[in-house]
Structure formats: structure tokens, C-alpha cells
């Protein structure tokens, strides 16, 4: 096993934003079987340590590639792009985010209408899907644009997490 491989190489996949999730899942299970620490229980301390390191790496790689936002960030990292913690984003986008956040707060402060929340979440899913498609295109053409789209995806993903939490709250989970 080579610790210098990137996550895509570990799974024998092309470096691409579009990942065959079924193939990833199959290869993940195969790798887990190969590197699971239990297989090395009778091995040397070094073999046990390496098995744990490999199992951890395989799990991290799987989680990263399985989920679209971490996968996008990882691909940009492979291309030498490090995301900023406080990026400068277009004012219009930031205003849209404020409006969306206020819409969510108004749903929460109101009667907690689940239909309104469902509509809001559907709008967020659609916006996220559109940004993901734009990111896929931008990856090959304009890395700066791809980076900006990831920042936008981060904002919308956080908003979606908040909307999901609100749903749990309204449903008393």
C-alpha cells in the first residue's frame, strides 16, 4: 500500500468530480477487507500500526469522495488551490445568503410551517444541484471560478444543514 496515493488512486478511480458511487462503495468494501486491522492481529506491531493507518486513510478517502462538497474541496486541493477561511465573495451573493437565512429564520419564528420548510429545502437542493453542475464545468475551464463556486456551495450546504435541523426541531426528533 502506498501512502502517497491520492484518494482517487486509492480506489482506482479517475480524478473527476462525478464519481460512480456504486463503484466507490464496492471498492471501499474490498479495501476494507484488505486493510482491516483484525487481519493483522497476529502480525508485528509495525504491521498492526500500518493496518490501522491504512484503514483510517481508506475511511477518510471514502468519506471525502462520497460527499460532493468535500470531494470538490479535495479536487481543488489536488490542483493546488487552498480555500480561504474568509473569502471575498460578490456582494450580490452575500445579500442572497442574508435573504435566505432570514427566510429560514422567519419559518422558524412563525408557526413552524413544514410545507414552507419543505419548499425552502427543495429550493436549496435545486440551487446546490445547479452549483454542482457549474462546478463540474468550471473544473476544466476556470479554476478560479470553480473555487468561487465551492465557497457558494459551502454557504448553501450550511444553510441546508440549518434547514434540516429546523425540520428535526419541528418534528420533535
What kind and span of H or E run contains 8?
A: helix 7-10
Tens digits of per-residue pLDDT, 86-118?
888 889 999 999 999 999 999 988 866 888 999
Give me the domain span that covers residue 139.
91-170
Mean pLDDT of the chain: 92
DSSP state of 172: T
Tens digits of per-residue pLDDT, 138-165?
998 999 999 999 999 999 999 999 999 9
Cell of 7: 484518494
Cell of 98: 442574508
pLDDT higher than threshold 90 for residue 132 = yes
The counts of H helices and E strands in the chain are: 7, 0
Cα 114 from Cα 167, distance rounded (Å): 7
Query: Do residue 49 and residue 118 come from a single domain?
Result: no
Task: Confirm whether 163 is domain-assigned.
Answer: yes
pLDDT value for 86:
83
Query: Do residue 143 and residue 106 come from a single domain?
Result: yes
Query: Do residue 96 and residue 62 come from a single domain?
Result: no
Rg (CA), the chain: 20
Task: Confirm whether 111 is domain-assigned.
Answer: yes
CA distances for 47 relative to 4, 43, 54, 154, 168, angstroms: 18, 6, 10, 39, 44
What pTM did the predictor assign?
A: 0.87
Tell which phi-psi region holds residue 116, choosing left (phi > 0), alpha (psi between -120 and 50) or beta. alpha
Q: What is the CATH number of the domain that holds 16?
A: 1.10.287.110
Q: Give Cβ neighbours of residue 2 (< 8 Å, ≥ 6 apart).
A: none
Tally of structural domains, the chain: 2
pLDDT value for 172:
79
Amino acid at each position: 500500500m502506498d501512502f502517497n496515493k491520492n484518494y482517487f488512486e486509492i480506489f482506482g478511480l479517475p480524478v473527476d468530480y462525478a464519481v460512480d458511487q456504486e463503484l466507490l462503495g464496492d471498492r471501499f468494501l474490498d479495501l476494507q477487507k484488505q486493510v482491516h486491522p483484525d487481519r493483522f492481529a497476529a502480525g508485528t506491531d509495525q504491521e498492526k500500526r500500518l493496518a490501522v493507518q491504512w484503514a483510517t486513510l481508506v475511511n477518510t478517502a471514502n468519506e471525502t469522495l462520497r460527499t460532493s462538497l468535500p470531494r470538490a474541496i479535495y479536487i481543488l486541493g489536488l490542483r493546488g488551490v487552498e480555500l480561504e477561511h474568509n473569502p471575498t465573495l460578490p456582494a450580490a451573493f452575500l445579500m442572497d445568503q442574508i435573504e435566505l437565512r432570514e427566510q429560514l429564520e422567519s419559518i422558524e419564528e412563525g408557526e413552524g410551517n413544514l410545507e414552507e420548510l419543505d419548499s425552502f429545502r427543495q429550493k436549496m437542493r435545486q440551487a446546490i444541484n445547479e452549483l454542482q453542475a457549474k462546478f463540474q464545468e468550471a473544473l476544466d475551464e476556470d479554476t478560479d471560478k470553480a473555487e468561487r463556486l465551492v465557497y457558494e456551495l459551502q454557504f448553501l450546504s450550511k444553510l441546508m444543514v440549518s434547514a434540516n435541523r429546523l425540520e428535526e426541531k419541528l418534528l420533535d426528533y
